[in-house]
Amino acid sequence: MHIANRLDTQRRLNAFYLREMAPAHRAHEVPVHPAEFRRIHEIEAMWNAYEESRIDLSDLPADAEGFAAWYFEVHKRHCREVAPFFDYIAEAAPAEAMAFYICLEEEVDGRFDDVVALAQLGLGGDMKLALAENFWDEMGNGRLEDMHTVMFCRSSAYMRDILDRAGIDVRDQVPASALKNGNLLLMYALRRRHAGRLLGALTILEHTAPWRFSRTVRGMRRLGMPEDVIHYHDLHIAIDAGHGRDLIRRVVLPLLADHPGLIREVAIGCLIRYRVAVDYYDGIARTLSQTGFAVPWRAGGPAPAAGAFDDQAFRREFPEAGLMEAS
C-alpha cells in the first residue's frame, strides 16, 4: 500500500495541518521544528507524486477558452463516476447508512471555511470578491445561527442519534480515503506553491456539489427526516451552484486568460480532487458494506455504468451552475 493511502499517514498529516492552523490560545502547538516540517514535506512530495501518476495530463488545453471546454467535460465525467453511490443515497439507503455518510464528514476536520479564506491570498479585483462572497456565505452572511458549520452540526447531531441507537460508532470506521479528501485541500491551502491546484480543486468540488446535495436531500426526504435537519443540505444545492459558477467564470477563467502558464497546475488540482473524491465515496461504500449495508458500488466492484448521470438534466435543474453554454 502506498504511504499516501495509509490511515496513520493521513492522521499524521491532518494533525499537523490542524496544528498549523491552531487558534491564538493554542499557538504553542504550532509546529516550528525544521525536522518535523522536513518529514511532512517528504510525505507530501510522495503523496503528490502518487496522485499525479494517476491522472492523464497528455491533452491539456493551451488557453482559457480551451480550458473551459476541457473542464466541463471533466465535470460531467466526475458526476457520472460517483452517480451509483448517490443513486443509492437517494433511492435506497436506510437511515443508518445516510447517518453514517453525514457523520463521517464530521469526523474529518477539513476546516473548509479556513481553506476558502486562504484561497483568497494573492488574488485581487473581482477574483478576490468572488471568493470573499463564497466565504461570507460560509459565515452565514453574518448570522451566527446560519454559519454553515453551525447548521451542519445541527444536522449531524440528529444523525449521530440514529447511529447511537443502532450501536454504530463512526469514529472506529473512518477510512483513509475520507482523511485524504479533507487533507488534500488543507495541503493545497497551506502550501502556497499549490495555490493553482487549490483553485482547481475548489472549483470542481463546489461545481459538482449541487447534484450530490440534491441526491442527499432526496434520500433524507424519502426517509421522512425533519426539515430542520435537511435544511443545511438543501441550502447548498443553490448556494454551491452559484459558488461553482463564480469560481470558474470569475476566478479560474480570467486568471488563466491572464496567465496561461497556470493551466497545468489548475488542471492538476481539478483532476486530483476528482480522483481523491471518487476514492472517498468508494471508501464510504466499502465501509458501509462491511458494516452490513447492501451498497451496490464499492471497491473492487464493477465500474459505474456510463450515463448514470444525466448531464442535460443537471443543466436544467441547476441553471445557477452556469453550465448551460457547455456542449
CA 219/CA 230 separation, integer angstroms: 10
Tens-digit pLDDT profile for residues 260-308: 999 999 999 999 999 999 999 999 999 999 888 888 764 444 444 444 5
Separation between Cα atoms, residue 182 and residue 279, nearest integer Å: 12
How many C-beta atoms lie closer than 10 Å to residue 264's C-beta? 15
Phi-psi region of 122 (alpha: psi -120 to 50; beta: other; left: phi over 0): left
Cβ neighbour number for residue 266 with a 10 Å cutoff: 26
Q: What is the pLDDT of residues 150-176, one digit of tens each?
A: 999 999 999 999 999 999 999 889 999
Q: How large is the angle between the packed helices 34-53 and 7-20, nearest 10 degrees?
A: 130
Q: How confident is the model at residue 89 (pLDDT cuts 50, 70, 90)?
A: very high
d(CA 239, CA 234): 9
For 54-66, how does the pLDDT look when each residue is reduced to its tens digit (9 = 90+)?
A: 999 999 999 999 9
Handedness of CA 316, 248, 134, 279 (dihedral sign): positive
Contacts of 57 (CB under 8 A, 6+ apart): 264, 267, 268, 271
Question: What number is the average pLDDT over the span 31-45?
Answer: 97
Cα separations in angstroms, 255 against 59, 114, 127, 260: 20, 22, 8, 8
What is the Cα–Cα distance from 226 to 300, expressed in whole angstroms? 35
Which three cell numbers mark 276? Answer: 481523491
Report pLDDT for 306: 42
Per-residue pLDDT tens over the stretch 209-252: 999 999 999 999 999 999 999 999 999 999 999 999 999 999 99
Go through the domains of the chain in sequence order and give each one's CATH number: 81-321 (1.20.910.10)
Rounded Cα gap, residues 131 and 36, in angstroms? 32
pLDDT > 90 in the chain, percent: 86
Question: Which pLDDT score, from 0 to 100, does residue 291 have?
Answer: 85
Closest to 187 measured CA to CA, from 1, 20, 60 = 20
Cell matching residue 174: 473512518
Residue 317: the pLDDT is 58
Residue type, 34: P
Residues 6+ apart with CB under 8 A from 270: 71, 74, 200, 201, 203, 204
